[in-house]
Amino acid sequence: MKIMKICNICHKISATDQDHLDCVQKTSIEMQDEYFKNNITEKLNLSNNPQDLAVEMKAILEHLVKGKDKENKL
């Protein structure tokens, strides 16, 4: 008889004794995305030469920085 358990991530029944693979992958992607958002401005060093970046790229980076600032205030 197989033992079923509750997934620690989505809290639904799992047919195996482990968390759902989709849930684990989604959590991993979310953590990587958070790390990327927190470190992108440092990697690009926008203060060096922002004229080299396209307008769209500047807008995206400004949005990410604003989102990071809001999260830090919470």
Domain count, the chain: 1
14 forms beta bridges with 5
Residue-number span of the structural domain to which 18 is assigned? 5-73
Q: Report d(CA 44, CA 72) in Å as an integer.
A: 20
Q: Report d(CA 7, CA 71) in Å as an integer.
A: 28
More confident residue, 58 or 51: 58
Mean pLDDT is lowest, of 2-6, 13-17, 48-52, 64-68, for 48-52
Q: Which of 46, 74, 71 lies closest to 60, judged by CA?
A: 46
This prediction has a pTM of 0.47
pLDDT digits (tens, 9 = 90+) for 15-56: 888 899 999 999 998 888 888 877 776 666 655 666 666 777
Joined tokens for residue 60: 């995206």
Joined tokens for residue 44: 């690009």
Looking at residue 22, what is its pLDDT? 93
Q: Which of 30, 4, 31 lies closest to 18, judged by CA?
A: 4
